[in-house]
Amino acid sequence: MKITIASGKGGTGKTMVATSLALTLAAVTPKQPPLLLDCDVEAPNAHLFLHPAVTEQQNVSLLIPSVDEAKCTHCGKCAEVCQYHAIAVLGQKTLVFPQLCHGCGSCTALCPEKAITELPEKMGIIERGPAVAGISFARGVLDVGEPMAVPIIRQLKRWARPAPGQVVLYDAPPGTSCPVVETVRGSDYLLLVTEPTPFGLHDLRLAVQVAGELGIPAGVIINRENGPYPALDEFCADNSLPVLLRIPFERAIAEGVAQGKTLVEIHPEYVEHFHRMFTQITRLI
């Protein structure tokens, strides 16, 4: 089973939920702890809670076109085919913009003069190793200044294959853009962590749209609950979104998380809450 933990915006407690769920599953099924993938490749931080020992690492590269001006006739076919405007013909010059290139290879395949070759350009790494409580851990890390998170997430998901029957938890990047869609794709369930504020509700709406477009069932965790916020409960009820867990706004939790503790370490009774939630999810799928 594959569960993505996501949120429409950053700072809602997504990693706290993902790591606590991983520790809960490791506690209740010690013979097969889960695999957790930190797909927040621009700012991965699940390792701070799960302390993996990295045993394997790989570079992730994109194949970026390089134009041989001696062969190029400046016909413009490469620029026409590029959906990302990453290659342009300006008079007698053909220019490549590597920061925009997705490495799809279309320009190389369609160049009639065979004037394009592809050169690998490193954009980040993926790495894996065992973490606390026997959890299998893997993450991607985007190099500073690189804009393309999606290829790293895609390669991370392909590389970190689960054992048969092993639960996989994807800790998604914040937001609702392409890296989130790439993370969520193929999941059996989407766990949306939100907070009871107008901003939280706004971003939850966007995240629910993504789940709907991908056809993935979703449920909600309300974090930092501090009194009633009926608009959020009404939205969940109107959209048939089960509220699977409510975590109160509490100083002890905030301080513990800031010190690198998971919720189940701060409040061990949450193992039971997370286990109950997981059981509910297995029924909902």
Per CB under 6 A, residues contacting ligand SF4 are 65, 67, 72-78, 81-82, 84, 86-87, 89, 94, 101-107, 111, 113, 115-116
Cβ-Cβ contacts under 8 Å for 217 (sequence gap 6 or more): 188, 189, 190, 211, 284, 285
Question: What's the min distance (Å) between Cβ of 142 and ligand SF4?
Answer: 18
Length of the chain: 285
**Nearer CB in complex with ligand SF4: 62/132:** 62
Closest by alpha carbon to 96, among 108, 112, 113?
108
Instruction: Centre a 10 Å sphere on the Cβ of residue 177 and count the other Cβ atoms it contains.
Output: 13
Closest by alpha carbon to 25, among 284, 285, 279?
279
**Nearer CB in complex with ligand SF4: 72/243:** 72
Question: What's the min distance (Å) between Cβ of 49 and ligand SF4?
Answer: 36
**Nearer CB in complex with ligand SF4: 78/216:** 78
Closest by alpha carbon to 207, among 232, 233, 176?
176
Interatomic CA distance for residues 224 and 70, integer angstroms: 62
**Nearer CB in complex with ligand SF4: 28/63:** 63
Instruction: Tell me 242's DSSP state.
Output: -
Question: What's the min distance (Å) between Cβ of 73 and ligand SF4?
Answer: 5
**Nearer CB in complex with ligand SF4: 105/120:** 105
Interatomic CA distance for residues 18 and 37, integer angstroms: 10
Question: What's the min distance (Å) between Cβ of 178 and ligand SF4?
Answer: 14
Question: What's the min distance (Å) between Cβ of 148 and ligand SF4?
Answer: 10
